[in-house]
Each structure stands twice: as structure tokens, then as C-alpha cells.
């Protein structure tokens, strides 16, 4: 599958489960070239090669650096991602116009194709900003995702994986950057859907990365590819839905509310699936 303009992917019930969001026109391509240059310069400044200096991670053999907010197993509240020695570089990148442009397009495409899901992300993001003022916000007023990944080094292609810590009833947004031939480098593979997708420089995809197994084909010799990703961790949604507390805290503070939440878990996924839009309802919404 090749794409330059948006193409939705729907399931047997007509729900839009993923989107090949393409890329806008105008001078967007110029900004994406600038973003590629910025990512390249960031890698050189950090003295990164094509391989992660700490060794391979589960997604691939490339340097990947995250910024924003996460929540892990055992955490009582969401926390800032530890950016370590990359703090200054990442802080500078999120302030760059070209990077803001990518983040804004990802967010706009998300809002267009899944307005209810996007509204839920906004509620969660707004709650974080109101309750935990000390936490970083990557793109204020621009994006409702809680975290960003900068995938650097020029040889960015991922192993077969699922991002199980992401919210399973939502999307992550991925934009490809670089100078490469999409017919031979880093094609996107969506395993359960049996799709192999040419993913050209500057294009964006929206996928439920926690539940669909995905990967890339290797970057061909002589090509250079990086990527920019936005996502939100699943435990943050659960923390917000529990009244800004863990389940254990909710059980202690509000036994009745906790019992109702437990009783509703079996049907919870059905309610979450309703956040996925259909083509028909999107067409109806525009008259």
C-alpha cells in the first residue's frame, strides 16, 4: 500500500482503527526537512551513532529518547520521564517550530479521524496539567499526547512489537523523517492486518500501537531514516478515571466507587470501543 493522502483503515464493524494520515501541502515538507536536520544535529551533538550506545531496546537498534509524562507499575502518580544527559537537547527540540508543526499535524489528524478518542486524551492531559503542575508539557496548546519519542541515529526501523504500556483504546502518532526510498526502506508492517505499507518521508500514521503488532522492514544501505512519535501511557488514563489515584487508594478512600468500577470492568472495553469513529458518522458530522 502506498499513500500520500489520508487513508483510513476500518474493521469489520466499520470502526476506523488506524489511519494513514499522509501529510499536508503548502510548506510542510520544508519544515519536515528542517526537522530531519534538527534530529541529525541532535544526534551528532550527543555523539550518537546508528546504534543505541546502551545496546538494543525492544523496539530496535537505534537511539530512542522520550520526553514528557509516564506512569509505571507501582507508581502512585504520573511522573516526568527521566531524560538524563539528553535533557538540554530534548528541551530545545520541543521548542523548535518544525517540531511543533509535526506535533500539531499529528494532533489535528487525530482529532479529525477520532474526535471522541481525542476528547478523552484531552481530558486526561488537562487533568494532568491541572493536578500536577510540576510535570512537563511537550507542546502546550498544540497536542494532547502526554509523551514524545525522538528516534535518532539515521537507521530507525523497529522490531516486531506492541507498545503494551500505551493506552490500548487509543492511538499513537508516528511521523517518518529522512532521505530514503519508501519502497525499499522502513516499510510499515501491521501484522494482524496483513498490511505492508510504504511509509514515505514526512508522512504520518495513527495506529493502536498497544494492540496491533507492528514493525518496519530494515533501512536500505545508503538511506537515512528517523522518526517522531507521540503517545500516552495507559496507567495515566486509569489514574485519571480512578479520581487521580491508584486502584488501591480508590479502594481505601471510596469503597463504593471502587466496587462499582470493579463491577464495570467486564463491559469497560465495549464503552472504550465506542470512542472509535466510523466513516459514516464522520461524513454525517460534516453534513
Rounded to whole angstroms, the Cα distance separating 171 from 240 reads: 18
Task: Assess whether pLDDT exceeds 50 at residue 158.
Answer: yes
Largest Cα–Cα distance of the chain, in whole Å?
61
Residues in CB range of 215: below 8 A, 6 or more apart: 157, 158, 159, 160, 161, 188, 189, 191
Percent of the chain with pLDDT over 70: 94
What is the side-by-side strand order in the sheet with 7-10?
A: 7-10, 16-22, 204-207, 172-179, 224-231, 147-151, 64-70, 79-80
Rounded to whole angstroms, the Cα distance separating 186 from 184 reads: 7
Q: Is 246 helix (H, G, I), strand (E, B) or coil?
A: coil
Query: By C-alpha distance, which of 114, 228, 226, 92 is closest to 173?
Result: 228
Q: How confident is the model at residue 57 (pLDDT cuts 50, 70, 90)?
A: low
Average model confidence (pLDDT) across the chain: 92
Q: How far is CA 158 from the centre of its chain?
A: 14
Residues in CB range of 36: below 8 A, 6 or more apart: 177, 178, 179, 201, 226
As to burial, measured by CB atoms within 10 angstroms (0-12 exposed, 13-18 middle, 19+ buried), residue 83 is middle
- Return the domain boundaries, the chain: 7-281
Question: What pLDDT, on a 0 to 100 scale, did the predictor assign at position 55?
Answer: 44
According to DSSP, the residues that pair with 150 across neighbouring strands are: 65, 228
| CATH H superfamily, domain 7-281 | q2cbj1_9rhob like domain (2.60.120.620)
Rounded to whole angstroms, the Cα distance separating 94 from 137 reads: 10
Task: Assess whether pLDDT exceeds 70 at residue 35.
Answer: yes
Residue 17: in which H helix or E strand, if any? Answer: strand 16-22
Residue 251: in which H helix or E strand, if any? Answer: helix 247-253
According to DSSP, the residues that pair with 18 across neighbouring strands are: 9
The mean pLDDT value for 155-174 works out to 95
The answer to whether the predicted template modeling score (pTM) of the entire model surpasses 0.85 is yes
pLDDT tens track for 105-137: 999 999 999 999 999 999 999 999 999 999 999
pLDDT tens track for 6-21: 999 999 999 999 999 9
pLDDT tens track for 79-107: 999 999 999 999 999 999 999 999 999 99
Amino acid at each position: 500500500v502506498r499513500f500520500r493522502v489520508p487513508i483510513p483503515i476500518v474493521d469489520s464493524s466499520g470502526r476506523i482503527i488506524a489511519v494513514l494520515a499522509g501529510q499536508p501541502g503548502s510548506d510542510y515538507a520544508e519544515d519536515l526537512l528542517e526537522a530531519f536536520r534538527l534530529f541529525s544535529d541532535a544526534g551528532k551533538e550527543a555523539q550518537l551513532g546508528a546504534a543505541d550506545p546502551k545496546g538494543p531496546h525492544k523496539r530496535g537498534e537505534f537511539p530512542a529518547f522520550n520526553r514528557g509524562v509516564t506512569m509505571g507499575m507501582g507508581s502512585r502518580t504520573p511522573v516526568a520521564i527521566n531524560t538524563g544527559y539528553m535533557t538540554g537537547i530534548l528541551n530545545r527540540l520541543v521548542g523548535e517550530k518544525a517540531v511543533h508543526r509535526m506535533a500539531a499535524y499529528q494532533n489535528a489528524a487525530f482529532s479529525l479521524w477520532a474526535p471522541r478518542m481525542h476528547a478523552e486524551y484531552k481530558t486526561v492531559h488537562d487533568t494532568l496539567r491541572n493536578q500536577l503542575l510540576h510535570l512537563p508539557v511537550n507542546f502546550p496548546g498544540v497536542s494532547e499526547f502526554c509523551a514524545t519519542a525522538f528516534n535518532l541515529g539515521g537507521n530507525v526501523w523497529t522490531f516486531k512489537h506492541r507498545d503494551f504500556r500505551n493506552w490500548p483504546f487509543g492511538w499513537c502518532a508516528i511521523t517518518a523523517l529522512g532521505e530514503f526510498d519508501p519502497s525499499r526502506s522502513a516499510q510499515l508492517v501491521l501484522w494482524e492486518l496483513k498490511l505492508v505499507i510504504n511509509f514515505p518521508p514526512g508522512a504520518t500514521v495513527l495506529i493502536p500501537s498497544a494492540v496491533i503488532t507492528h514493525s518496519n522492514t530494515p533501512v536500505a544501505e545508503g538511506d537515512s531514516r528517523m522518526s517522531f512519535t507521540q503517545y500516552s501511557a495507559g496507567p495515566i488514563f486509569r489514574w485519571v478515571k480512578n479520581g487521580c489515584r491508584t486502584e488501591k487508594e480508590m479502594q481505601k478512600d471510596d469503597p463504593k466507587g471502587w466496587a462499582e468500577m470493579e463491577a464495570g470492568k467486564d463491559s469497560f472495553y465495549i464503552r472504550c470501543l465506542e470512542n472509535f469513529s466510523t466513516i459514516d458518522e464522520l461524513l454525517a458530522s460534516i453534513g
